[in-house]
Amino acid sequence: MDKFAKMALLADFYGPLLTEKQRNVWDLHYQQDLSLSEIAEVEEISRQAVHDLLKRTERILLEYEEKLGLVDRFLLEREKLQAIQSLMESFKESDFASTEGKEICSLARQRIAELLESVNL
Amino acid sequence: MDKFAKMALLADFYGPLLTEKQRNVWDLHYQQDLSLSEIAEVEEISRQAVHDLLKRTERILLEYEEKLGLVDRFLLEREKLQAIQSLMESFKESDFASTEGKEICSLARQRIAELLESVNL
């Protein structure tokens, strides 16, 4: 996972614990992909101040993750769920002897897909 | 879910954000089931101080949950996963036409059970 994806995930989990300013600048950089200079202009602060704010916010988010580990836990669960999904996809039409069996399989696949979608931030 | 179970779950998620004293008194009450008077004796503080500490800790935990909603999210995901488990249990032996199909089903059930176990705190 690249740094931007990891940072976005951290903010998805712990963002509500940041101040409005921290969240705002974080969002401009990591979600809307603005450069430090562009953010400096928008926020009317120096480029260095943007840099410091982002570094400080990153430290805060990483500290929360170090204590709570919820992003790691989430990624691990998603991985396991994806493995189950793959397994369910490996059923072949010819594996079933009954319409009920096929229907259960189809419904289970759908429910797993929905669950994965709901945990995909 | 009763209050004790809910409080235990909140502490499981957000406990690392509490101070050692808060966590300790919380644990004595909600995990080890000690009364306020018993905790007062152990901690050498008044019963009223124990009561206030527990109330304050509860407020802190509920504030984190209000902001992050991770316990609710966790409970919802677990519920959906249990529904998938039930669905997989509804396969009958006679639904399958091949050994491979039966094996996939058995493995998927096992993986779902493992995932549920790992999210059961």
The verdict on A31 and A63 lying in the same domain is yes
The verdict on A32 and A18 lying in the same domain is yes
Determine which helix (DSSP H) or strand (DSSP E) holds B32, and give its type and residue range.
Answer: none
pLDDT value of position A45: 95
The verdict on A53 and A100 lying in the same domain is no
**Looking at the partner chain, which of B17, B108, B119 has a beta carbon nearest the beta carbon of A67?**
B17
Residue of chain B with shortest Cα separation from A112: B84
- Nearest one of B18, B55, B50 to B34, comparing CA atoms: B50
B74 lies within 8 A of chain A by CB: no
Length of chain A equals 121
Test B97 with A92 for CB contact under 8 angstroms: no
Q: Are B100 and A49 in contact (CB under 8 A)?
A: no
Test A68 with B111 for CB contact under 8 angstroms: no
Q: Which of chain B's residues have a Cβ under 8 Å away from the Cβ of A116? A: none
A97 lies within 8 A of chain B by CB: yes
Distances from the Cα of A6 to the Cα of A89, A95, B69, B97, B100, angstroms = 28, 40, 20, 44, 38
The verdict on A54 and A18 lying in the same domain is yes
The verdict on A7 and A62 lying in the same domain is yes
The verdict on A8 and A59 lying in the same domain is yes
What is the token pair recorded at B78?
């677990």
Is residue A121 pLDDT above 60, yes or no?
Answer: no
Q: Is the dihedral of CA A25, A30, A34, A36 positive or negative?
A: positive
What is the rounded CA–CA span in Å between residue A115 and residue A103? 18
B17 lies within 8 A of chain A by CB: yes
What is the token pair recorded at B57?
């800790």
What is the token pair recorded at A26?
């974080």
Is residue B46 pLDDT above 80, yes or no?
Answer: yes
Please give the residue that has the higher pLDDT: either B90 or B3.
B90
Length of chain B equals 121
The verdict on A32 and A19 lying in the same domain is yes
User: What SS3 class is residue B31?
Assistant: coil
Count of domains forming chain B: 2
List the single best residue of A112, A118, A120 to mutate versus B (max B Cβ within 10 A): A112
Distances from the Cα of B24 to the Cα of A121, B29, B64, angstroms = 34, 9, 18
Domain boundary among B68, B84, B102: B68
Test A104 with B119 for CB contact under 8 angstroms: no
Alpha-carbon radius of gyration of chain B: 21
Provide the percentage of residues in chain B whose pLDDT is more than 90. Answer: 77
Segment B3-27 shows an average pLDDT of 91
pLDDT confidence bin for A1, thresholds 50/70/90? confident
**Looking at the partner chain, which of B90, B104, B112 has a beta carbon nearest the beta carbon of A91?**
B104
Segment A12-35 shows an average pLDDT of 93
Q: What is the dihedral of CA A42, A46, A51, A54, to 10 degrees?
A: -50
The verdict on B64 and B94 lying in the same domain is no
DSSP letters spanning A27-78: HHHHTS---HHHHHHHHTS-HHHHHHHHHHHHHHHHHHHHHH-HHHHHHHHH
CATH number, residue B24: 1.10.10.10
The verdict on B97 and B110 lying in the same domain is yes
Q: What is the pLDDT of residues B86-106, one digit of tens each?
A: 999 999 999 999 999 999 999
The verdict on A51 and A11 lying in the same domain is yes
pLDDT value of position B60: 97
Test B67 with A17 for CB contact under 8 angstroms: yes
Q: Which of chain B's residues have a Cβ under 8 Å away from the Cβ of A114? A: 80
The verdict on B17 and B63 lying in the same domain is yes
The verdict on A62 and A82 lying in the same domain is no
Q: Which of chain A's residues have a Cβ under 8 Å away from the Cβ of B14? A: 68
Name residue A102's beta-bridge partners. Answer: none
Q: Which of chain B's residues have a Cβ under 8 Å away from the Cβ of A92? A: 98, 100-101
What is the domain range of residue A77?
Answer: 73-119
CA–CA min distance B81, chain A (Å): 8
Q: Which of chain B's residues have a Cβ under 8 Å away from the Cβ of A112? A: 84
